[in-house]
Amino acid sequence: MHIYGPSQVHGPQSVNGPHGAQSAKPAQSAESAESAPIRDEVEFSDAARLIEQTHGTPDIRQDRVDAIRAQIAEGTYETQEKLDIAVDRLLDEIG
């Protein structure tokens, strides 16, 4: 097959092409390959560690929920001290 034009294709070519591919990494000697085994590494992010810690905690602390519900029913849950702490935390987060 002959096609004359800018690409100048002259006939069928092998799948690998006319030039052999070269490896990007240098060849190792047989001694160094045997003495240094290949090892995999895994690193966990801080976020992954935090998520793992949350799996160990119970979903709902029913005793705490019951205590807070009782305080709300009695009208003793909202105090000036708790309000001050909440405002301070909000201001710290904003500013």
| pLDDT tens digit sequence for 3-48 | 666 666 566 666 765 555 565 565 555 555 567 888 899 998 999 9
The set of residues, in sequence order, having a beta carbon less than 8 Å from that of 31 and lying 6+ positions away, is none
- pLDDT at position 65: 93
Q: Which amino acid is at 53?
A: Q
Predicted TM-score of the model (pTM): 0.33
> Does residue 24 fall inside a structural domain?
no
How many domains does the chain contain in total?
Answer: 1
The token duo for 69 is 């519900």
**Mean pLDDT value across residues 68-92:** 94
The set of residues, in sequence order, having a beta carbon less than 8 Å from that of 10 and lying 6+ positions away, is 2
> Does residue 85 fall inside a structural domain?
yes
Between CA 23 and CA 43, with CA 32 as vertex, the angle to 5 degrees is 80
Residue 89, domain extent: 46-94
Residues 36-68 as b/e (b if ≥16 CB within 10 A, e otherwise) read: eeeeeeeeeeeeeeeeeeeeeeeeeeeeeeeee
> Does residue 22 fall inside a structural domain?
no
Q: Counting every residue, how long is the chain?
A: 95
Q: Which amino acid is at 9?
A: V
